[in-house]
Structure 1
Amino acid sequence: MRAHSTLTRRLLASTVPVTLLLGSATSLGHADPLIGNILNSYGMPGAIDTPTAEMLPDATLGATIAYTDLSRKNSIVFQALPRLTVALRYSRFDSTEESRGYVWDRSFDLRYQFLDEDPNGWRPAMAIGMQDFMGTGYYGAEYIVATKTITPRLRVSAGLGWGRLAQQGGIGSPFGDRPDPDAELGGKPNVDAWFRGEMAPFLSATWQATDKLYLTAEYSGDSYACETGDADNCQRSVWLSDGDELKNRLNLGITYRMGENYQLAGYVLGSKQVGVQFSVAMNPSQSPFPSGLEKAPAPVRPRVAQSADPDGWSGAWAADPTAHPAIQKSLGDALADEGQVLESMALDANRAEVRIRNNRYMQRAEAIGRTARLMTRALPPSVETLVITSSEDGLPTTSITLRRSDVERLENTEASQIANVAVLTNADPRPGNLVRTPGMFPRFSWALKPYLSTSLFDPDEPFRYEIGAELEAEYELMPGLILAGSVRQRAFGNQEQEAPGNMTVEEYEALDSDYDENGVPRVRSDGRMYQGNKSPTIPRLTLAWYAKPTDTVYSRVTVGLLERTFGGVSGEVLWWPASSPLAIGAEINRVKKRDFRDVFGFRDYEVTTGHVSAYYEFDNGIAAELAVGKYLAGDKGATVTLSREFANGWRVGAWVTKTDMSAEDFGEGSFDKGVTLSIPLGWGTGQPSLRRVGGDIRSLSRDGGSRLRVQGRLYDKVRDSHSGQLYQGWGRFWR
């Protein structure tokens, strides 16, 4: 524990001053961030290998593949905030010390633009950045850089760099010596090395020759010592390759932009090494189909004059026992054409409430808007109050109350106007006088589709995959009680059953133990023992019960085969008022490890885990979660998750978990961390759909900090219909 406390103190001492600097610097500039036109070989806005003070357009997600004889860099970059750029990189370079002849290395970058360019004066944009700040430090560097637009076609940048950017041409060490790199650091922040050691200048200039062609020159302090064999200056002499030294410090490059999203580049490093690079950058706000390809909704039907329908306006129709069933069937059929399910309906002379299940639209506001339109067409004119309650698997979440006259009056205005008169409340969990749609329950649904399972970052096989067919089925016995499962049949792929360490599968099974040599339970590190099945597998088979005990409290109990590795019982409660940005939840699980081959068999290891979680929805689609508790391997700690979701459904996030498991017991990587990406299918096809593609990207699969992967957690289930997400997508109310 002493080591962890020391690390914590070092982190606080190092990051708090930087945080204060960045926070105070935002007041220095008021213009938009300086936007870059090209990506460098590290996947960040820059020249060739050196950084600039440029940013990408807010929310841009990009990827870069850069290749030379010295190394291969595969990078993912995300403009997390208008002035904050983050990148994840997976790089390969030759090594004379490795048995396989090369090393695959993971690294993370951060850049913050703390000063805006003055387009009418001499003030440049300025940024501070850290390269490979949490990892082995092979590409470790820190920098402060300024960028200025000289003419509309010419930009120049100059900066001071440390680490890789100061392998030669140093001008001093103003902040002290840089410590020798720790080859076993593996995933910890390199706090002691930040802005330490020799400092060296770097320069670059980019000239836009044509609308699509860019020419770049840079003067760099990176001598590529490790790659070229300069042992005296190499930060990682153990990874030394046998390449040839570069002739000089000048790099030249050319970049060709193919449309708005693609770039192809070539460059020469030090008049010696030739490199090529391909980059792609996409902005979630720039969909290939900005308006979507869904059919237009039915228009609002204004009510006829009272003289034209005196019985409809008087409410006398409500006394007819056949009126309610007829209206409910008519409305239910119309909603079904819109991809909605009318679960139940309450109707009297002046008020109508519907509980709908959205099966089509990514933004809940679009489903609500289309429902409101159809209600004006199906209801008698005396009904003035419209209540639309969202339901998730029979669980009422929130209610939107509208005046019918407002819907009629504001149909052709901005969506913000209808938002101003809409009232969002917690849905009443009691059925009241709601009448369930006949034949609604029980409900059975199934789907047969292909699946793709992938695994990344294995040094021996960086990309593993498995392709096959998956049958999913769901049987909803009554509102909130759901039996669900899936069956998979592998077709082909290179994911095969493998034992951890250097053991064979037979040797590992003969151990009959779920603990490693340090006594740590193997809850994820033997995950490949579950792969490569030639016979059908059952990843999940569960019975779940969802309920809403009060207006603001949700509950879930799930029992069965919860995930491919564990089965048991999972229980959860969530407190979340409809208009509150804050939600608090608690979860407890009693699970047992599943057998590697027998889909209904179990191994000996069992554990009780649980977490208390706080969720907060900030503006601009940013959400945060703090979960504190006990993990699958019995370690205790906390997970911090940050994510950003955009109005069109794109979601990008990252998480970090730190527990009381030591870095030695955890192994390479030191602690659990990763990023998550979720892209709605409708963004690329233009067709409305709730389906998503993406998943978690983690550099390593370790036992420490591992949580149960149970489906249907309450926060994710009800989030789309609560105020933050609902109003973020409110612009599609009239779609």
Structure 2
Amino acid sequence: MNRVLLVLALTIVSLPARAEGLEATLSDWGTVGLLQTPTARGMPDGTVTAGLTALGGLHRHLFAGAHLLPSLDIALRNSTYPSWHGLSEPGVDAKLRLLREGPWWPALAVGGRDVTGTGLDLPGKGRFAGEYLVASRRWWDVDLSLGIGWGGLGDYGHVRNPLRALGGRFKRDRDPANASSRGPEAWFTGERAALFSGVEWHTPLEGLSVKLEYSADSFRAQQQDDPDFRPGIPMNAGLAYRPWRWLEVGAGVEQGSRAMLRLAARFDPREDTDTPPRAPPPMVGARPAAPEAALPATDIAALARLHRLPARAARIDKHNATLWLDPAGGGTAPLAREVGRAARLLADGAPPEVEWLTVATGSAGLDGTALTLSRRAVEQAAAKRGSPEEIWRTARVERSAAPPPDWPARLALTIIPTVEASLFEQSAPLVQRTYGDSVLTMEPLRGLVLSGGLRINVSHNLHLLDTNALPAAEPVRSDLPLYADRGAAVERLYAAWLAVPSERWGTRLSLGHFEEMFGGVGGEALYRPLTARWALGLDLNRVWKRPPDDALRLAPESGRNTGHASFYWEAPGAATTGVLRLGRYLGGDWGGTLELMRAFDGGVRLSAQVTWTEGPEGAQSRYGGRLEQGIALTVPFSPGGSWPPAGRLATAVRTLGRDAGQQLRQPLPLYDASVSAGYGRLTGSWPRLMD
């Protein structure tokens, strides 16, 4: 077998390949791969998956995953298996692509299963933990993969661990009976490693592929549990089929005797989002012959609203016309396209002597950008005699325009159906909560936000949470089942004042019930230079627990302080933002949070976060460890017809009912309110200015 793998390795690296767009498929574990083994492939950027794999009477993998970046694949998983202690095993699997496939080299990726190593220290826990380095090479419809695995991916031990030369810790035995066999301290350790390989053939039948692999997993932990267990042969074969774009079905025979069945749903925000047909852009006619023929500012603002632009006010001066756009909830259209359409309306309706057009963007009273364009350049581009690039040469970008002449009040209703699930419980593979929020938001003055929300709880099985086993005397969120048992309750009821004290600073003061569990008073400041791709934030809050049996009361004895310093870093175009937060959490524990936020056309939002803290103070439950983690997806929808509310469908897989690492769910964070109207989003979508 080793000779076969050596020949395969030489083939992968020596022959030119034709790597053209064949769809990657899922493995049994929920990440892209063959059956039991991974490949170096990935799905389209932003794709979200969820499904279930059943392997004979041996394993059940319930998983949810996301391609958070073009090169990063994360899957949250809970696995059940025959075991004397009867508990399931949660895990986080990750894969990072190091190298894209080229004409003379393969794609290369590194990754691991159960990379965090959280959970109870019981015999056999960490049985799935393992790391790998894998290369994939494609010729037409055939994709070959070859890798080396450690831990559970390298049980057969074909070779000595090549990392032994780096130090003693890499030489120690990787015994799954010990807690040290999992987690970061165990990565790439073990006396020996093993090779695995496989091939996937994408057949002429659209959506169908055939898989064959050699796996290096000898199921060492299962053999320790049951001396009579026989793993079978290390060869697996199967099929993957996509009858529809959103569904993948897998089937196969593994270890020579065990049948496998896999069902998975897929969502690609770039393809699967139903966006309304794009209306044609406003026409730009000849300039009015006289000032009397031009439209007044109030009519231009009203006309912009008819064109479905979030226009709030307009003003016409001697040589300049200004229109303010203030999208509620961040907007769903590319910012530059909305700015371009607003500029067209100004160019078409302003008096003939106006030569400069300003479109000021912002959200909830915060200034985003004030873009001033040459009217002549806009007219030429609208007539197909110019381009966004030519308009940019004469454009001027500032933080804000002069104060608007008026600011009409706005009232908005948002419907948010939500499904939250936990795959991190030892006692149950899946814990879920389903509810719906109706949020009414009013802005009577610029910068003043009043909001109230009603939550309708539909269903839950939160009584299966691990934290119920050891109730806390002073819970942070481990008493979540008490809140979900209510049929309906006030989810939020607060007032916030947002202001811009200087060009680079934004501030917010909030008072009221911020979320279903906590209310109080809080403040936030955000330092954000206009053209910078970074920002600094600080939030401080004094909050009290809202008892589950009284929707509007605050428990006076439950006061606590919480707050964080945050650093934001944006990718070009500000569609991707990484966040590092350091501070004090609701349980009194100190720690940090890493968060990744993605924004796609149509208003789709994808995010992931992981929090590590020192653990909560005395009276809170330490059950479940010190990690708080999860991924979330939000998809806007429109009820349609004459029904006015906006809608967002929210779904998340996260730890539920934990006391460690809990942040206040502030409903109006400054960065979220400002990024959608900022310089990064404007320049990132600039080619769509005249769409």
SS in 2 for 1:501: helix
Does 1:435 find its partner at 2:405?
Answer: yes
Identify the residue that residue 203 of structure 1 maps to in structure 2.
Answer: 197
Written as runs of structure 1 = structure 2, the 5 A alignment for 1:109-128 is 109-119=93-103, 121=104, 123-128=105-110
Q: Paired residue for 2:27, among 37, 40, 46? A: 40
Separation in structure 2 between the aligned mates of residue 495 and residue 110 of structure 1, nearest angstrom: 27
Identify the residue that residue 606 of structure 1 maps to in structure 2.
Answer: 559
Identify the residue that residue 481 of structure 1 maps to in structure 2.
Answer: 448
Identify the residue that residue 405 of structure 1 maps to in structure 2.
Answer: 376
Paired AA for residue 186 in structure 2: D
Separation in structure 2 between the aligned mates of residue 460 and residue 146 of structure 1, nearest angstrom: 35
After superposition, give the CA deviation of every residue in 1:606-650 in whole Å (9 maximum; x if it has no partner).
112222222121226331222222221112232222233334544
Does 1:302 find its partner at 2:291?
Answer: no
Does 1:395 find its partner at 2:377?
Answer: no
Q: Paired residue for 1:699, among 655, 665, 674? A: 655
Separation in structure 2 between the aligned mates of residue 636 and residue 667 of structure 1, nearest angstrom: 17
Identify the residue that residue 7 of structure 1 maps to in structure 2.
Answer: none
User: Given the superposition, is the C-alpha separation of residues 31 and 671 from structure 1 closer, same or farther in structure 2, using an over 3 Å criterion?
Assistant: farther
Q: TM-score, normalised by structure 2?
A: 0.84
Residue 36 of structure 1, CA deviation: 5.9
Deviates most, 129-138 or 346-355: 129-138
Separation in structure 2 between the aligned mates of residue 690 and residue 190 of structure 1, nearest angstrom: 44
Does 1:424 find its partner at 2:390?
Answer: no
SS in 1 for 2:278: coil
Separation in structure 2 between the aligned mates of residue 362 and residue 612 of structure 1, nearest angstrom: 31
Separation in structure 1 between the aligned mates of residue 219 and residue 406 of structure 2, nearest angstrom: 70
Residue 283 of structure 1, CA deviation: 3.4
Does 1:654 find its partner at 2:608?
Answer: yes
Q: TM-score, normalised by structure 1?
A: 0.80
Identify the residue that residue 4 of structure 2 maps to in structure 1.
Answer: none
User: Given the superposition, is the C-alpha separation of residues 525 and 545 from structure 1 closer, same or farther in structure 2, using an over 3 Å criterion?
Assistant: same
Residue 209 of structure 1, CA deviation: 3.4
Identify the residue that residue 26 of structure 1 maps to in structure 2.
Answer: none
Does 1:622 find its partner at 2:576?
Answer: yes
Paired AA for residue 483 in structure 1: L
Identify the residue that residue 3 of structure 1 maps to in structure 2.
Answer: none
Paired AA for residue 56 in structure 1: M
Paired AA for residue 297 in structure 1: P
Separation in structure 1 between the aligned mates of residue 260 and residue 93 of structure 2, nearest angstrom: 22
User: Given the superposition, is the C-alpha separation of residues 376 and 658 from structure 1 closer, same or farther in structure 2, using an over 3 Å criterion?
Assistant: same
Identify the residue that residue 74 of structure 1 maps to in structure 2.
Answer: 62
Separation in structure 1 between the aligned mates of residue 627 and residue 539 of structure 2, nearest angstrom: 22
Paired AA for residue 204 in structure 2: T
Separation in structure 2 between the aligned mates of residue 335 and residue 295 of structure 1, nearest angstrom: 13
Does 1:51 find its partner at 2:3?
Answer: no
Please say if residues 610 and 629 of structure 2, whose CA atoms lie closer than 8 Å, have aligned partners that are also in contact.
yes
Separation in structure 1 between the aligned mates of residue 446 and residue 359 of structure 2, nearest angstrom: 18
Residue 93 of structure 1, CA deviation: 2.1
Paired AA for residue 439 in structure 2: E
Please say if residues 156 and 216 of structure 2, whose CA atoms lie closer than 8 Å, have aligned partners that are also in contact.
yes
Residue 578 of structure 1, CA deviation: 2.4
Please say if residues 35 and 55 of structure 1, whose CA atoms lie closer than 8 Å, have aligned partners that are also in contact.
no
Separation in structure 1 between the aligned mates of residue 498 and residue 17 of structure 2, nearest angstrom: 48
Please say if residues 33 and 116 of structure 1, whose CA atoms lie closer than 8 Å, have aligned partners that are also in contact.
no
Q: Paired residue for 1:265, among 230, 250, 255? A: 250
Identify the residue that residue 127 of structure 2 maps to in structure 1.
Answer: 138
Please say if residues 416 and 650 of structure 2, whose CA atoms lie closer than 8 Å, have aligned partners that are also in contact.
no
Does 1:528 find its partner at 2:481?
Answer: yes
Residue 709 of structure 1, CA deviation: 0.9
Does 1:540 find its partner at 2:492?
Answer: yes
Deviates most, 410-419 or 161-170: 410-419
Residue 57 of structure 1, CA deviation: 3.5
Separation in structure 1 between the aligned mates of residue 27 and residue 635 of structure 2, nearest angstrom: 25
Residue 554 of structure 1, CA deviation: 1.3
Separation in structure 2 between the aligned mates of residue 471 and residue 622 of structure 1, nearest angstrom: 28
Identity of aligned residues (%): 27
After superposition, give the CA deviation of every residue in 1:29-87 in whole Å (9 maximum; x if it has no partner).
99989976322112223221112232333443333432122112233333344443332
User: Given the superposition, is the C-alpha separation of residues 427 and 492 from structure 1 closer, same or farther in structure 2, using an over 3 Å criterion?
Assistant: same
Please say if residues 497 and 532 of structure 1, whose CA atoms lie closer than 8 Å, have aligned partners that are also in contact.
no
Residue 261 of structure 1, CA deviation: 4.7
After superposition, give the CA deviation of every residue in 1:158-215 in whole Å (9 maximum; x if it has no partner).
22222112233544345312343476679x8332342423312222122233233322
Written as runs of structure 1 = structure 2, the 5 A alignment for 1:634-649 is 634-649=588-603
Say which structure, 1 or 2, has more relative contact order (CA 8 Å, 6+ apart). 2
Please say if residues 526 and 538 of structure 2, whose CA atoms lie closer than 8 Å, have aligned partners that are also in contact.
yes
Please say if residues 149 and 195 of structure 2, whose CA atoms lie closer than 8 Å, have aligned partners that are also in contact.
yes
Identify the residue that residue 627 of structure 2 maps to in structure 1.
Answer: 671
Report the aligned-residue RMSD: 3.5
**Structure 1 gap ranges (5+):** 1-28, 232-236, 318-322, 509-514
SS in 1 for 2:346: helix
Separation in structure 1 between the aligned mates of residue 565 and residue 75 of structure 2, nearest angstrom: 30
Q: Paired residue for 2:667, among 711, 715, 727? A: 711
After superposition, give the CA deviation of every residue in 1:699-729 in whole Å (9 maximum; x if it has no partner).
3542222111111111110111111122223
Residue 248 of structure 1, CA deviation: 1.6
Paired AA for residue 476 in structure 1: E
Deviates most, 690-699 or 594-603: 690-699
Does 1:248 find its partner at 2:233?
Answer: yes
Q: Paired residue for 2:145, among 150, 157, 173? A: 157
User: Given the superposition, is the C-alpha separation of residues 338 and 556 from structure 1 closer, same or farther in structure 2, using an over 3 Å criterion?
Assistant: same
Residue 488 of structure 1, CA deviation: 3.1
Please say if residues 648 and 683 of structure 1, whose CA atoms lie closer than 8 Å, have aligned partners that are also in contact.
no
Please say if residues 176 and 220 of structure 2, whose CA atoms lie closer than 8 Å, have aligned partners that are also in contact.
no
After superposition, give the CA deviation of every residue in 1:548-584 in whole Å (9 maximum; x if it has no partner).
1122221111111111111110111112122221212
Q: Paired residue for 2:209, among 214, 226, 229? A: 214
Separation in structure 2 between the aligned mates of residue 410 and residue 76 of structure 1, nearest angstrom: 46
Paired AA for residue 534 in structure 2: L
User: Given the superposition, is the C-alpha separation of residues 201 and 164 from structure 1 closer, same or farther in structure 2, using an over 3 Å criterion?
Assistant: same
Identify the residue that residue 334 of structure 1 maps to in structure 2.
Answer: 303
SS in 2 for 1:111: strand
User: Given the superposition, is the C-alpha separation of residues 680 and 497 from structure 1 closer, same or farther in structure 2, using an over 3 Å criterion?
Assistant: same
Residue 467 of structure 1, CA deviation: 4.2
Residue 528 of structure 1, CA deviation: 1.9
Residue 416 of structure 1, CA deviation: 4.3
Paired AA for residue 299 in structure 1: M
Paired AA for residue 399 in structure 2: N
Residue 407 of structure 1, CA deviation: 0.7
Identify the residue that residue 515 of structure 2 maps to in structure 1.
Answer: 563
Does 1:230 find its partner at 2:223?
Answer: yes
SS in 2 for 1:366: helix
Separation in structure 2 between the aligned mates of residue 79 and residue 446 of structure 1, nearest angstrom: 32
Paired AA for residue 133 in structure 2: I
User: Given the superposition, is the C-alpha separation of residues 416 and 501 from structure 1 closer, same or farther in structure 2, using an over 3 Å criterion?
Assistant: same
How many pairs were matched up?
649
After superposition, give the CA deviation of every residue in 1:276-331 in whole Å (9 maximum; x if it has no partner).
112344433335557x5132232122326xxxx2x43xxxx6xxxxx99x612311
Paired AA for residue 405 in structure 2: V
Does 1:147 find its partner at 2:116?
Answer: no
After superposition, give the CA deviation of every residue in 1:394-433 in whole Å (9 maximum; x if it has no partner).
33332111111111111235544444443321015x62xx
**Structure 2 gap ranges (5+):** 1-15, 119-125, 165-170
Separation in structure 2 between the aligned mates of residue 189 and residue 486 of structure 1, nearest angstrom: 41
Identify the residue that residue 62 of structure 1 maps to in structure 2.
Answer: 49
SS in 2 for 1:483: strand
Separation in structure 2 between the aligned mates of residue 497 and residue 261 of structure 1, nearest angstrom: 30
Identify the residue that residue 234 of structure 1 maps to in structure 2.
Answer: none
